[in-house]
Structure 1
Amino acid sequence: MARPKNSAAPDTSKAIELTAGAIERLTCRTDIKAQAFLRDTKAPGLRVRVTNTGAKSFVYEAKLNRQTIRRTIGDVRSWTIEQARAAARRLAVVLDNGQDPGELDRQAQVAREAQSVQEKAKALTVGELWPEYLETGRPKRKDAWKPRYLDDLKKMATPGGEKKKRGQGLTRPGPLFPLMALPLASVDEDVLKSWYDQETLAGKHQAARALMMFRGFLRWCSSKPEYRALTHREAGRAPAILENLPPTTHRIDKLLPEQIAGWWASVEQLPNLVHSVYLRALLLSGARREEVAALRWDRIDWRWKKITIADKFEQTRTIPLGSYMAHLLHGLPRRGSYVFHSEGSFGYVRDPRASMAKVLAECGVDYLTFHGLRRTFTQVARRIVPAGVPAQISGHKPSATAEGYSILALDELRPYMGQIEREFLRLAGINFSESTIEPVKLMAV
């Protein structure tokens, strides 16, 4: 049998010792099949694959569990024959161990992708997650943030540098702002301790409040599967931090009965009518400051003398509208949907502290918070009505009502509300006719 000429294409039905010339002459007939293989005798399993378009590459082919395993090594223009043989031998060792090289590659790819995701996650900063927390987070056992608390959360993380609304200069960064640039995974107890110590220099109580807010953020992060592994949930409870927290004190400020007349008279003299009525409404209703501030005109039922306000524990609560309270509200100008209108972004009164400070200075009361008016309501009301009544009107938790007290219907509350209101008017020295809710002349006794 005559030897094939050097210019002839190699016979793909037989294994040969691969050479550069044989690979160069290798062809695939386009009218028969899409690809052809030329086997190597020196490295079993090594082949050169040629397609009907002329593309050539080294491949490794063998059997594993009776299935054909084919693995592309590389283009013949990039790999030498010896490099391809070495790669084929390595793949043969893998298959001899009962492993599929393709499956190993897929596992390696998955591992690389997981490593990439993990590295990106470790670089995720607090500031990137903070907006998501504000949007989807919520306090424990509650459905959503209260508007005022949400506003405080936003302010805590602001970078500052804006012109102050009151006074000169620029605003300082919020207490939590230094944490915003840090990767979440890096915020451990040492980092929080260093941050807290720095913030206490500006104010211990503000730093403590910021810490409480950030602990809520860490709880939220740990509740999310995608952030849980990155979160040091208990970092804010480290002993080194807790031992430096300012002592927790329960405020007990309130107006004494003999101080109500002077306070009331000073409130009536405020040039801001909205603030004047707002402060008296807090005292007469016992409601929380935000509940009263956000009262809308459409929540007042003048005919049936009741108002519906937001509630801390329920969505809303409805309480009787006393005659004097109706008189005060009826006298306010209607300049928007909110009863206690303000030109600010919220549309209602947000910060009447200046008016309160002016009142206290004039009446000689050293210290009183807005919540102190709520305590005053409870103190005065408990002396003249059943203990559970002021709790129900002012919106205390059910557990705070007196033992054995049954929740009363609105009509059952109404007489008690009248008694409470008349007692405050008596202490304030106000003579008021209940014949109408229209503005009437008030006469000091």
Structure 2
Amino acid sequence: MARPSKNALIDFSAPQDLTHGLLERAACPQGKKFVLVKDAEKKGLRLRVTAAGGKHWQFETRVKGRLFTRALGEWPTISIADARAEAHRLRGLTEQGVDPRIGEAEDAALRAKALQNETAQAVARSILVGDVWPLYLTQGKPKRKEGWKPRYLDDLHAMVAPGGVKKKRGPGLTKPGPLHPLMGLPLASIDEDVLQVWYEQEALRGRHQAARALMMFRGFVRWCSARPDFRRLVNRDAGRSAAILENLPPVTRRTDVLGAAQVAPWWSAVEQLPNRTAARYLQALLLSGVRKEAVAALKWADVDFRWQKVTFADKVGKPKTLPLTPYLAKLLSALPKVNEYIFASTGKRGHIVDARASLAKALKTAEISHLTPHGLRRAYKQRGRSVAPHGAVDQMQLHQPSGTADGYAILPLDDLRPFAVTIETHILKLAGVEVAGPVSGGPPLIG
């Protein structure tokens, strides 16, 4: 039989013995949008030829009286043999009354679910501790408090610092923070074994620092476990294994305090400090008894020299107004107004943050072996309770009200003032400082 010419007409109304040449010369007649070239071998298989020249395989039949049509792909990407094989498979299912779409939908759902699980696991493996830590710093907070204390927030940043930058004091570069090795680990991988290995390594550098870092990280884990986004990725009890807890250093409560006999040499040594801002800051700690962070962050707007009032932030950041005692007023008013803060600094905070170096110099001059800034707060409490009611001392130190405190009552400012002045006068007497002039109505003269 002679091979049909390229211009031979095709009878689209009748099934055809499909060949490559036939499909190659199949064209849509003028005036029609498409035409179907039906296969004589596989019932339901046809090639749809459009006016634009597109050629696509289709399979069409009925399943339980309902029309079923399936696109099989483009010719010649899908060959005649491949199209017939797929048509054969579909006809076998439909003749049994099976709708291929139902089974395929179920298979697709199973594949999608498996893929979703695989994707979720892959995402979980890709979320690093270091990815979540910044979110913890911005959205986390201590229990029953409105937010981080600035100094503690600085410590959280320092704990994960990569190191390698020039030290602010002394030669050399900074070392990585204790928690930095954990930042590159997947959050889902953090368990007791991982933390135990990490803790043993960090404890070689310093047990107390490693223990503090562990407590901070456990707070991070608790925060993650309370958030739906990360709850499934963390083990809330990580870091509580017996192997870690048994090796933690004992917790020792600091009890250092500036004794009565030490006040005079300490005060004299502080007066000799070259850093006058740090000197006045340390003296203000002793004369006010307020926490070091609150004194450091004191602003000029917080001090009313005319009406002798000063406002500090308490432990949870709430403002509390106290009497401004005469000598403390004199110390503050003598400081230069560099910025909005009384104890100004050139650091990023704008105010003094750490005066331990100045305190260490004063202690060396005074021949006092050990004293922390908080030891000055304890000294105020001890000296104050020797001359004033315990409740008045507690109120001056911004302690929260307690029903068990001896003689405690919230006193109005004017009623609290005499006790505040008495405490200050007693401390100054121990320091060997003589004060002349009025005790009210403005800053006194200092003799």
Q: Aligning the two structures, in what range does the TM-score lie when normalised by the shorter sequence?
A: 0.7 to 0.9
User: The residue matched to 1:419 in structure 2 has which SS?
Assistant: helix
- Verify the 8 A CA contact 1:331 1:439 in the aligned structure 2: no
2:364 partner letter:
A
Distance 1:211 1:376, change over 3 A: same
State the partner residue of 2:222.
219
State the partner residue of 1:391.
394
Distance 1:261 1:53, change over 3 A: same
Write out aligned runs for 1:51-70 (5 A). 51-61=50-60, 68-70=67-69
Between stretches 381-390 and 206-215, larger displacement belongs to: 381-390
Distance 1:56 1:333, change over 3 A: same
- Verify the 8 A CA contact 1:261 1:428 in the aligned structure 2: yes
Q: Deviations over 1:72-128 (max 9, x none)?
A: 332221222332333345556494477153574466356535633541331222222
Question: Aligned to 1:187, which of 186, 190, 195?
Answer: 190
User: The residue matched to 1:327 in structure 2 has which SS?
Assistant: helix
Q: Deviations over 1:129-160 (max 9, x none)?
A: 22222222222222222211111111111111
State the partner residue of 1:312.
315
Q: Deviations over 1:206-255 (max 9, x none)?
A: 11111111112222222332222222232122222111111111111112
TM-score by length of 2: 0.87
Write out aligned runs for 1:425-436 (5 A). 425-435=428-438
- Verify the 8 A CA contact 1:277 1:328 in the aligned structure 2: yes
Q: What is the CA distance between 1:21 and its match in structure 2?
A: 4.7
Write out aligned runs for 1:148-187 (5 A). 148-187=151-190
- Verify the 8 A CA contact 2:56 2:71 in the aligned structure 1: yes
State the partner residue of 1:326.
329
Q: Deviations over 1:310-350 (max 9, x none)?
A: 22224322222111110110111111111111122221112
Between stretches 224-233 and 292-301, larger displacement belongs to: 224-233
1:8 aligns with 2:13: no
Point out where structure 2 has 5 or more consecutive residues left out of the alignment.
none
- Verify the 8 A CA contact 1:126 1:179 in the aligned structure 2: yes
Q: What is the CA distance between 1:309 and its match in structure 2?
A: 2.0
User: The residue matched to 1:49 in structure 2 has which SS?
Assistant: strand
Q: What is the CA distance between 1:377 and its match in structure 2?
A: 1.8
- How far apart, CA to CA, are the structure 1 residues paired with 2:225 and 2:11? 66
Distance 1:428 1:161, change over 3 A: same
- Verify the 8 A CA contact 1:91 1:101 in the aligned structure 2: no
User: The residue matched to 1:134 in structure 2 has which SS?
Assistant: helix
Write out aligned runs for 1:35-50 (5 A). 35-38=34-37, 40=39, 43=42, 46-50=45-49
User: The residue matched to 1:218 in structure 2 has which SS?
Assistant: helix
- Verify the 8 A CA contact 2:327 2:444 in the aligned structure 1: no
User: The residue matched to 2:287 in structure 1 has which SS?
Assistant: helix
- Verify the 8 A CA contact 2:390 2:406 in the aligned structure 1: no
- How far apart, CA to CA, are the structure 2 residues paired with 1:263 and 1:407? 32
- Verify the 8 A CA contact 2:363 2:370 in the aligned structure 1: yes
- How far apart, CA to CA, are the structure 1 residues paired with 2:154 and 2:431? 35
Distance 1:412 1:441, change over 3 A: closer
- How far apart, CA to CA, are the structure 2 residues paired with 1:226 and 1:91? 44
Q: What is the CA distance between 1:437 and its match in structure 2?
A: 4.4
Distance 1:97 1:175, change over 3 A: same
Distance 1:432 1:124, change over 3 A: same
1:440 aligns with 2:445: yes
State the partner residue of 2:420.
417
State the partner residue of 2:76.
77
Q: Deviations over 1:368-420 (max 9, x none)?
A: 11111122222222333333333333223445862784433333322322222
Between stretches 96-105 and 244-253, larger displacement belongs to: 96-105
Q: What is the CA distance between 1:69 and its match in structure 2?
A: 5.0
- How far apart, CA to CA, are the structure 1 residues paired with 2:52 and 2:173? 71
Q: How many residues align?
A: 437
Between stretches 106-115 and 116-125, larger displacement belongs to: 106-115
- How far apart, CA to CA, are the structure 2 residues paired with 1:64 and 1:426? 105
- Verify the 8 A CA contact 2:72 2:83 in the aligned structure 1: yes
Q: Deviations over 1:166-220 (max 9, x none)?
A: 1111111111111122122222211111111111111111111111111122222
- How far apart, CA to CA, are the structure 1 residues paired with 2:65 and 2:412? 82
State the partner residue of 1:289.
292
1:217 partner letter:
F
Distance 1:21 1:438, change over 3 A: same
After superposition, the CA RMSD in angstroms is 3.0
